[in-house]
Chain A
Amino acid sequence: MRKTLGLIIALMLTANVWAQTMNVETGSVVYQFPAAKAGVMTYTDGTSLTIMGKTFTLSEVTNVWVDNAQVIDNTVSVVYEGTSARILVAGNVAQYVTPAVKGAHVGIGQTNTSDVDGEEIIYSLSGNTSDGEFYLSGSYKCTVELCGLTLTNASPVFSGAAIHVQNGKRIDISIRKDTENTLADCPNGTQKGCLYVKGHAELKGQGTLNIKGNLKHGIKTGEYLTMRKCGVNILSAEGDGISCSQYFLMESGSLTFGNVGDDAIQCDIDNATAGSTGQTTNHEDEDSGNIYIKEGTVDATVTNTAAKCLKAEGNVIIDGGTLTLKANGDIDLTDTSDPAFTAGIRADSYEQNGGNIDIVVNGAAGRGVTAANSLMINGGSLNVINNGATKSSGSSYFCSARGLRASTIFLKSGTVTVSTSGAASKGIKADDGNVTVTGGNITITTTGAGAYDGEDKDAKGCAGLDADGDINIEGGSLTLKSSGTGGKGMKCDGTLTIIDGTVNASSTGSNYKYSNSLSASAKAIKAGVATQKGSGRNATYEYSGGIVITGGNIIASASNHEAIESKSTLDISGGYVYANSSDDAINSSSDFTISGGFVMGNSSGNDGLDANGNFYIKGGTVFSVASSSPEVGIDANTEQGYKLYVTGGNIVAIGGLERGSSLSQACYQASSYTKGAWYALYEGNTLVLAFKVPSNNRMGTPMVVSTAGNTTLKSGVGVSGGTKIWEENGCLDCSVNSGSSVSLSSYIGGGGGGWRPW
């Protein structure tokens, strides 16, 4: 019984949807007036008929009939049928739209200035034509709905675009669910885009839109463009895949770009005179030139010279989504004083708060991400593989690749992986500014060789992390590997300050030598600048920048040159520092001060710790290993009148101390030591350090030890527990057993010392 009643109700409901409609046909256009709403239809002078505000010239009316067609208010349907188009206009909006049709070229003028019956007008487009278009003019918001449309404009009538909306208001482009729509514009028109909207457009729906931009851009909007849910495929474009102003916001959906002639997405500031408004609340009246990616997927490849996958005159802000970007364009050397590069992302500033981004750069001297101002990573993952080669020509230009480049760089969280292979390329480079790392996992690998920069007249190598200003490391984990000639793991011209975090830097390349006077040394960490004034014995140096370490865990190794080098002063007051090299393990061009922390310099071919100025040991725990004489464990530039001052600290120096040192704290020497053996250093009865003597081929003598109190030493001890430091060459807070006491004698300084002031 219930089923029967249900059926009855269903039938009754079904029946109720039928309604009568008066259809007024003028050429290809049919205006549909529901009988219930048609009201009084007025004749005037026998020449015109007015229905629901729409006046028809009777001589233009080709047919009128009444049927049961259902009319959806506010809707204008355009159905493309090969060489013609059929237009159905809902009666309630008939007075506001004036269609003109030539073949399948449809132009509609819209005149309403407010909602009609509480809603905006919807233009519903469907069908197929190989020579048609949809042109819409107006001054009030509306919706263009794509319902399974294949539209190619072969011979423009109104515009060369496939869809042209000459309306400065908000235009919804709704791509109906499960429909596929393909637009292609005319290659011979004057249009700015295959899909052109003068005002601001909102792409939405759950269908698919394919675009072939045969003249200029694929999608062009005069104002902002937003996108949600839908799938847009820019199959080709002579210019940009998407070009817009004010801002571009992708909330979800998918975007793919192939065969674009310029950038995949470009967003400009609309009012260049007024400049950027910056990001505004809810993007109200925003004219920032920003690109926002909230969610969704972007897959873009650009190949044209200096083309970018994402290019914003404002900022690029990534909060989520998955971006796969390939920048394969060549370098633009039209103006060699201001060359332009291909890039995955280019912006005024770049901010990543989430999302997963993979960028591959193959274009010469290309950039993974480049920002004129700041680059900030707050989360997500960013993976850049930059294969771009170096381009140079004499003294006119020298351009090498960059993984990430900006004026100022902040790495706060997330995962950043960068690799570059071009000569003298940089993994992450702060031009003119600083790099600050407070968190995240950063891995940078450079494999390129050194190269001569004819513009700067200098020999240059690669660098993993490079700043013209300072580098501040306050947290996070950095793994920096450089394998090319002259390559450096980390380098800055200003001050490198490490207060926390983990740095593991290695340089396995050899020296890059351009000439006898120009070369680039491969070092793990280098900071500061020493500027030579004068020459020969009269040469003096001016120092700037340097290295300050107050915390963190630093591991640096270099195969052929200094592992850590300050071209100015070097101050260590905390943290754990381990440096390993065949050259000086740690070198300072000016004064070197250790007042805290745990520092080990292990050199297999030079000094363990070397200062070209004074060397001050005031505290901390120092373990230095030098090669055989004339190298010393701890060296100062005695030749130039400088000196080693020991006033505190726990010290182990294999190879001894610089001659003429000022040893306010008593030092002792052991005449021999055993490679590979663990030793225990005591201050009175307190174990201050357990350390393992390296097994380098060449190691100097004696082994000097010192503590602030009564210094004793045991050899051949067993070590357990505690915390291993210095790549397991030291142990803190461990338990020591067995071993034998080492005979120590007073030590007042060695006879060695490097003859070179560096």
Chain B
Amino acid sequence: MPSSSFSSRRFLQTRRRKKQRKQYDEMKKCLIFFAIAVCALSVRADEFAYPYLVLEASDGTLTSVSVASLTLKFEESSLVLTNDAGSRNFALSGLKKMYFATKPTAISTSKNNVNENVEVWTMTGLSLGVFDSISEAQQTLSRGVYVVKNERGTFKIAVK
């Protein structure tokens, strides 16, 4: 019947429009989500365009610290770095330079080994003992990243 056919067509058209509308809304939601995500990443990227401050000691030792809430205090002969992770001291006499970095490049690539005792910890905080020098520790330890501490300060080293 013509009338029945007409009703059916209208029903199908309405349904199609609803479906298109739903797809459009979903796409819009996706775009908004995407936008927020991009913005968040963008903000984060900008906020932390240089998320690290790298300190290089006279012996070439590099130490990187997060700049989040970072303050530096020069007290007598030492530099006290304080950030969200806590405070760390550096002997001023051993500091050569510092710079902002986009990556934690402060993982130790010690070039000038010094012959002095260092205490070594794993990244999880387990103490591995005291070595005569950094080079001795590097020769002894297995591959990985460790935290070492000597008179010049606390820093990371990588054993390859």
Q: Which of A7, A19, A35, A61 contacts B74 (CB 8 A)?
A: A61
Q: Which of A4, A8, A15 contacts B43 (CB 8 A)?
A: A15
Is residue A46 contacting chain B, with contact meaning CB distance below 8 A?
Answer: yes
Nearest-neighbour CB distance to chain B for A303, whole angstroms, equals 59
Cβ contacts under 8 Å, B94 to chain A = 46
Contact A11 B35 (CB under 8 A): yes
B71 touches A (CB below 8 Å): yes
Residue-wise, chain A 34-55 has the 8 Å CB interface mask toward B (1 for contact) of: 0110111111011100000000
Q: For B50, what are the chain A residues with a Cβ–Cβ distance below 8 Å?
A: 20, 35-36
B32 touches A12 (CB 8 A): no
- Residues on B with beta carbons closer than 8 Å to the beta carbon of A395: none
The answer, yes or no, to whether A68 is at the interface (CB within 8 Å) is: yes
* Contact across chains for A46 and B47 when beta carbons are under 8 A apart: no
Quick check: is B16 within 8 A (CB to CB) of the other chain? Answer: no
CB of B118 within 8 A of chain A?
Answer: no
**Interface contact A4-B35, CB-CB below 8 Å:** yes
A20 CA / B35 CA spacing, docked (Å): 24
Q: Which residues of A are found within 8 Å of B67, using beta-carbon distances?
A: 20, 35, 66
Q: A15-B46, A45-B93 are in contact. Are A38 and B99 (CB under 8 A)?
A: yes
Docked Cα-Cα span, A41 to B101, in Å, equals 12
A68 to B70, CA, bound (A): 11
Contact B99 A63 (CB under 8 A): no
Hey, which chain B residues are within 8 Å of A59, CB to CB?
74
- By the criterion of a CB under 8 Å from any partner CB, how many residues of chain B are at the interface? 31
Contact with A along B75-113 (1 / 0, CB 8 A): 001000000000000011111111110000000000000
Best-surrounded residue of B67, B74, B97 (most CB of chain A within 10 A) = B74
Asked if B17 is at the interface of the complex by the 8 Å CB criterion, the answer is no
CB-nearest residue of chain A relative to B77?
Answer: A46
Q: Contact: A15 with B99, CB < 8 Å? A: no
Q: Which one of A12, A40, A47, A68 lies within 8 Å of B47 (CB-CB)? A: A68
User: Does residue B38 face the partner (Cβ distance < 8 Å to A)?
Assistant: yes
Looking at the complex, which one of B35, B43, B53, B99 makes contact with A66 (CB distance below 8 Å)?
A: B53
Distance, CA A1 to CA B30, complexed state (A): 12
With the chains together, A246 CA to B42 CA distance in Å? 55
> A677 to chain B: which residues have CB within 8 Å?
none
User: Contact check: which of A42, A47, A63, A66 meets B97 at CB < 8 Å?
Assistant: A42
Given A46-B77, A46-B95, do A18 and B38 touch, yes or no (CB 8 Å)? Answer: no
Chain A residues with CB under 8 A of B99: 38-41
Q: Given A20-B50, A59-B74, verify A8-B97 contact (CB < 8 Å).
A: no
Chain A residues with CB under 8 Å of B100's CB are 20, 22, 35-36, 38
Evaluate contact between B42 and A12: CB separation under 8 angstroms.
Answer: yes
Q: Say if the beta carbon of A273 comes within 8 Å of chain B.
A: no
Q: CB-CB < 8 A to A63: which residues of B?
A: 71-73
Q: Once the chains are docked, how many angstroms separate the CA of A5 from the CA of B39?
A: 12
Q: Is B31 an interface residue (CB 8 A)?
A: yes
Give the nearest-CB partner of A61 in chain B: B74
Which A residues are in CB contact (< 8 Å) with B12? none
Known contacts A15-B39, A42-B96, A46-B91, A1 near B72 by CB under 8 Å: no
B2-24 CB contacts (< 8 Å) to partner A:
none
Q: Are A41 and B98 in contact (CB under 8 A)?
A: yes
Q: Are A12 and B97 in contact (CB-based, < 8 A)? A: no
Q: At the interface, yes or no: B49 with Cβ under 8 Å from chain A?
A: yes
Q: Which residues of B contact A43 (CB under 8 A)?
A: 92, 95-98
Q: Does A58 contact B (CB under 8 A)?
A: yes
Which partner residue on chain A sits nearest B101 by CB separation? A35
Given A11-B35, A38-B100, A43-B95: A18 in contact with B73 (beta carbons within 8 A) = no
Chain A 724-746 interface mask (CB, 8 Å, partner B; 1/0): 00000000000000000000000
Instruction: Say if the beta carbon of A72 comes within 8 Å of chain B.
Output: no
In the complex, the chain A residue whose C-beta lies closest to that of B92 is: A46
Please tell me which one of the listed residues A39, A40, A64 contacts residue B72 in the complex, with CB atoms under 8 A apart: A64
Q: Judge if A723 is at the interface, Cβ distance under 8 Å.
A: no
**Complex contact B35–A40 (CB within 8 A):** no
Q: How far is the CA of A15 from the CA of B43 in the complex (A)?
A: 5
Report the Cα distance A22→B81, complex, angstroms. 13
Interchain nearest-CB distance for A280 vs B (Å): 51
Which residues of the partner chain A approach B47 to less than 8 Å between Cβ atoms? 18, 20, 68
Chain B 53-74: CB-based contact to A (< 8 A → 1; otherwise 0) = 1000000000000010011111
Q: Which residues of A contact B39 (CB under 8 A)?
A: 8, 11-12, 15
Query: Once the chains bind, are A35 and B49 in contact (CB under 8 Å)?
Result: yes
Contact present for A8 and B35 (CB under 8 Å): yes
Instruction: Tell whether, in the assembled complex, residue A19 and residue B73 are in contact, meaning their CB atoms are under 8 Å apart.
Output: no
**Set of chain B residues within 8 Å of A7, measured between Cβ atoms:** 35
Contact status of A41 and B97, CB under 8 A, knowing A12-B42, A15-B42, A65-B70: yes
User: Taking the nearest CB of chain A, how far is it from the CB of B36, in angstroms?
Assistant: 8
Most chain B beta-carbon contacts within 10 A, residue among A17, A20, A40, A64: A20
Q: Say yes or no: B31 contacts A4, CB within 8 Å.
A: yes
User: Which of A35, A58, A63 has the most B CB atoms < 10 Å from its CB?
Assistant: A35
Contact with B along A543-560 (1 / 0, CB 8 A): 000000000000000000
Least CB distance, B106 to chain A, in whole angstroms: 14
Q: Which residue of B lies closest to A50 (CB)?
A: B97
- Nearest A residue to B78 by beta-carbon distance? A46
Known: A36-B49, A41-B98, A46-B95. A1 touches B35 (CB 8 A): no
A47 proximity list for chain B (CB < 8 A): 92
> Bound complex: CA of A19 vs CA of B43, how far in Å?
10
- The residues of B that contact A19 with a CB separation of less than 8 Å are 46, 49
**How far does the alpha carbon of A673 sit from the alpha carbon of B31 in the complex, in Å?**
111
Which residue of chain A lies nearest to B65 when distances are taken between CB atoms in the complex? A66
Query: Complex formed: what's the CA distance from A52 to B5 in Å?
Result: 81
A444 to B151, CA, bound (A): 96
Most buried by B among A15, A47, A63: A15
Chain B residues close to A by CB (< 8 Å): 28, 31-32, 35, 38-39, 42-43, 46-50, 53, 67, 70-74, 77, 91-100
Contacts A39-B99, A43-B92, A64-B71 known; 20 new A-B pairs at CB < 8 A: A1-B28, A4-B32, A11-B39, A12-B39, A15-B39, A15-B43, A15-B46, A16-B42, A16-B46, A18-B46, A35-B67, A41-B97, A43-B96, A43-B97, A45-B93, A46-B77, A47-B92, A63-B72, A65-B72, A66-B53
- Could you name 22 residue pairs across A and B whose Cβ atoms are closer than 8 Å? A1-B28, A4-B31, A4-B35, A8-B35, A11-B35, A11-B42, A12-B38, A20-B50, A35-B67, A36-B49, A36-B50, A38-B100, A40-B98, A46-B77, A46-B91, A58-B74, A61-B74, A64-B74, A65-B70, A66-B70, A66-B71, A68-B47
Minimum-distance CB pairs A-B, first 3: A46-B92, A8-B35, A64-B72
